[in-house]
Structure 1
Amino acid sequence: MHPEFAPIAFTAAASLLLPLPWHWRAGNIATLSIIFWLFVCNVIYGVDAIIWSEGVRIIALVWCDITTKLIIGANFALPAACLCVCIHLERVASVRAARTSVADKRRRQIFELVMCFGLPCLFMALHYVVQGHRFDIVEGFGCRPTTYYSIPSIFIVWIPPLLMSLAALIYAGLALRHFIIRRLSFSLHLDASRSALTTSRYVRLVLMSVLQMFWSISLTSYAMWFTIMATPIRPWTNWADVHSNFSRVDTYPARFTPPRVATCFYVLWWTIPASTILFVGFFAFGRDAVDEYKQCFVWFRRNILRQSVSDEKPNKFGTLPTIRLVDISPVQFSDSDKISSILAI
Structure 2
Amino acid sequence: MHPEFAPIAFISAFSLFLALPWHWRARNVATLSIIAWLFVTNIIYAVDAIIWSDSVAIVGLTWCDITVKLIIGGNFALPAACLCVCLHLEQVSSVRTVQVTAMDKRRRQIFEACMCFGLPMIFMALHYVVQGHRFDIIEDYGCRPSTYYSIPGIFIVWVPPLVMATASLILAGLALRHFIRRRITFAAHLSANHSALTTSRYLRLLLMSVLQMIWSIAITIFTLWSTSVSIPIRPYTSWAVVHSNFSRVDQFTTLFTPQVVLATRVGIWWMVPASTFAFVAFFAFGNDAMTEYKKGFRWIRTTVLRLPRSSSSNGKTGPEASKFPGAISLASFDVKAAATPPSPATAKREEAAYDTQSIASSSVGPALSYHTHPEDRFDFEPETPSSYAPTTLSTPAHAPMPPPGDLQFSPPRSRNLTGDVLRPYTYPSLDASHHAIGLAV
Same fold (TM over 0.5): yes
1:90-109 equivalent positions in 2, closer than 5 A: 90-109=90-109
Aligned residue in 2 for 1:185: 185
Q: Is 1:127 aligned to residue 127 of structure 2?
A: yes
Aligned residue in 2 for 1:319: none
1:190-339 equivalent positions in 2, closer than 5 A: 190-309=190-309, 311-312=313-314, 324=331, 326-327=333-334, 328-329=337-338, 330-332=340-342
What is the deviation of 1:193? 1.0
For 1:196, give the aligned amino acid. A
Aligned residue in 1 for 2:44: 44
User: C-alpha separation between the residues in 2 aligned to 1:50 and 1:283?
Assistant: 29
Q: Does the 8 A contact of 1:98 with 1:189 survive in 2?
A: no
Aligned residue in 2 for 1:318: none
TM-score (norm 1): 0.92
Question: Does the C-alpha gap of structure 1 residues 225 and 326 become closer, same or farther in structure 2, counting only changes over 3 Å?
Answer: same
| Structure 1 residue runs of 4 or more that deviate by more than 2 Å after TM superposition | 305-314, 327-341
User: C-alpha separation between the residues in 1 aligned to 2:313 and 2:107?
Assistant: 37
- Deviation string for 1:93-118 (max 9, x for gaps)? 01123311110000000000000000
For 2:147, give the aligned amino acid. T
User: C-alpha separation between the residues in 2 aligned to 1:338 and 1:166?
Assistant: 73
User: C-alpha separation between the residues in 2 aligned to 1:227 and 1:30?
Assistant: 30
User: C-alpha separation between the residues in 2 aligned to 1:189 and 1:141?
Assistant: 48
For 2:150, give the aligned amino acid. S
Question: Does the C-alpha gap of structure 1 residues 123 and 313 become closer, same or farther in structure 2, counting only changes over 3 Å?
Answer: farther
Aligned residue in 2 for 1:75: 75
Q: Please, what is the CA RMSD of the aligned residues?
A: 2.1
Q: Does the 8 A contact of 1:29 with 1:109 survive in 2?
A: yes
Question: Does the C-alpha gap of structure 1 residues 313 and 56 become closer, same or farther in structure 2, counting only changes over 3 Å?
Answer: farther
Structure with larger Rg: 2
User: C-alpha separation between the residues in 1 aligned to 2:331 and 2:256?
Assistant: 74
SS in 2 for 1:17: helix
Aligned residue in 1 for 2:3: 3
User: C-alpha separation between the residues in 1 aligned to 2:256 and 2:234?
Assistant: 24
For 2:188, give the aligned amino acid. L
User: C-alpha separation between the residues in 2 aligned to 1:313 and 1:250?
Assistant: 66
SS in 1 for 2:250: strand
User: C-alpha separation between the residues in 1 aligned to 2:19 and 2:98?
Assistant: 28
- Deviation string for 1:80-105 (max 9, x for gaps)? 00000000000010112331111000
For 2:290, give the aligned amino acid. V
What is the deviation of 1:337? 5.0
SS in 1 for 2:17: coil
Question: Does the C-alpha gap of structure 1 residues 278 and 182 become closer, same or farther in structure 2, counting only changes over 3 Å?
Answer: same
Aligned residue in 1 for 2:408: none
Q: Does the 8 A contact of 1:16 with 1:39 survive in 2?
A: yes
User: C-alpha separation between the residues in 2 aligned to 1:339 and 1:271?
Assistant: 69
User: C-alpha separation between the residues in 2 aligned to 1:55 and 1:62?
Assistant: 18
1:50-89 equivalent positions in 2, closer than 5 A: 50-89=50-89
Greater helix content: 1
Aligned residue in 1 for 2:356: none
Question: Does the C-alpha gap of structure 1 residues 245 and 196 become closer, same or farther in structure 2, counting only changes over 3 Å?
Answer: same
Aligned residue in 2 for 1:320: none
Q: Is 1:32 aligned to residue 32 of structure 2?
A: yes
- Deviation string for 1:190-227 (max 9, x for gaps)? 11111111100100000000010000000000000011
Question: Does the C-alpha gap of structure 1 residues 324 and 166 become closer, same or farther in structure 2, counting only changes over 3 Å?
Answer: farther
User: C-alpha separation between the residues in 2 aligned to 1:213 and 1:66?
Assistant: 26
What is the deviation of 1:340? 11
Question: Does the C-alpha gap of structure 1 residues 339 and 307 become closer, same or farther in structure 2, counting only changes over 3 Å?
Answer: closer
SS in 2 for 1:143: strand
User: C-alpha separation between the residues in 1 aligned to 2:157 and 2:196?
Assistant: 35
What is the deviation of 1:254? 1.1
User: C-alpha separation between the residues in 2 aligned to 1:171 and 1:296?
Assistant: 36
User: C-alpha separation between the residues in 1 aligned to 2:272 and 2:315?
Assistant: 37
User: C-alpha separation between the residues in 2 aligned to 1:141 and 1:203?
Assistant: 36
SS in 1 for 2:18: coil
User: C-alpha separation between the residues in 2 aligned to 1:246 and 1:259?
Assistant: 28
For 1:261, give the aligned amino acid. V
What is the deviation of 1:308? 3.3
SS in 1 for 2:333: coil
SS in 2 for 1:169: helix
Gaps of 5+ in 1: 315-322
Q: Does the 8 A contact of 2:341 with 2:431 survive in 1?
A: no
Q: Is 1:20 aligned to residue 20 of structure 2?
A: yes
For 2:69, give the aligned amino acid. K
- Deviation string for 1:144-168 (max 9, x for gaps)? 1110000101110011000000000
User: C-alpha separation between the residues in 1 aligned to 2:233 and 2:433?
Assistant: 97
What is the deviation of 1:260? 1.1
For 2:186, give the aligned amino acid. F
Percent identity of the aligned residues? 63
